[in-house]
Structure 1
Amino acid sequence: MSTDTMLGALSAEERRVLLAHERAHLTHRHARLSTAVPLAAAASPLLTPVRHMVTFLLERWADEQAAAVVGDRASTARALARAALTAGRPVPPHGLGFTDRAVSRRIAALQAAPPPRLWPLSATVLAVGALTALGAADATGDLLRLLEPVLARG
């Protein structure tokens, strides 16, 4: 199936979702990760499960970005489902790769509540970690200064 065939099968709103999804891949340079992860998995077969998870998460990331752009998670899920249904035929190498990544799990995720924003939590964890590391470094310096006379005698 060609990209034209897929786009022709989608409504205007669904095409908007599809293009927002693909734009998210381009904006966030997902191709870099999509290339690096299989190379890492080829070097270490233990990373194969990580490869599959990263691939799925990149698609989910683009799904969430598309939902944010169109402002409707339900229409994003419908567009994803319709794109998957129209992809029943072999895809030429130039077709959009919109439908080949655990589609049912992605649709279910879009029908659930949006994932929480984790930036504030991440920033807090990083700040606490940085303060802990700085405190440990300061305490180590104090300990070395206290032990300096003992170490100098040795």
Structure 2
Amino acid sequence: MRKLSLFIVAFVVLTSCGKKNESNDDFTPAAATEEGMPAETTDASSYDPKRGEGKYTSVEIGASLDQAMASKGEGVSNAKCTSCHKLTDEKLVGPGWKGVTERRTPEWIMNFITNPDPMIDKDPELQAQLELCLLRMPNQGLNDGEARDILEYMRKVDGVK
């Protein structure tokens, strides 16, 4: 009976961690492979430090804050981000978020949120940050909508009205 219970718990955990595939219309994916996933390169010389590594080539953001998206982003952030990141410039496990939307492009932020490993492997600034933080940012398995909501929440943290 105990083995059956353990099996059921393991099954539920494994199946509940699946990745949802939602999308918003405010960004354009880069060229993709036949499976619909972004085409990845292993050549660091092709890395674009303004855009990062991933499928987001263009992320449309408004001049003013989308309050509904920011609110959803705050909820996702509270569940998946704030255990490692503070909203100030103070480091917790990872760096603080203050000013991130002023230092990085929306495309870079979206690509890093959804695709951290290839970016950490190629981006010299992220590699330097890794030496300070000592832990790689884990891929949280966020869908496109959740990532975009977090970006909007980051804009709110940075004072966009």
Smaller-chain TM-score bracket: under 0.3
TM-score norm. by structure 1 comes to 0.27
TM-score norm. by structure 2 comes to 0.26
Q: Which has more radius of gyration?
A: 1
Structure with more strand by fraction: 2
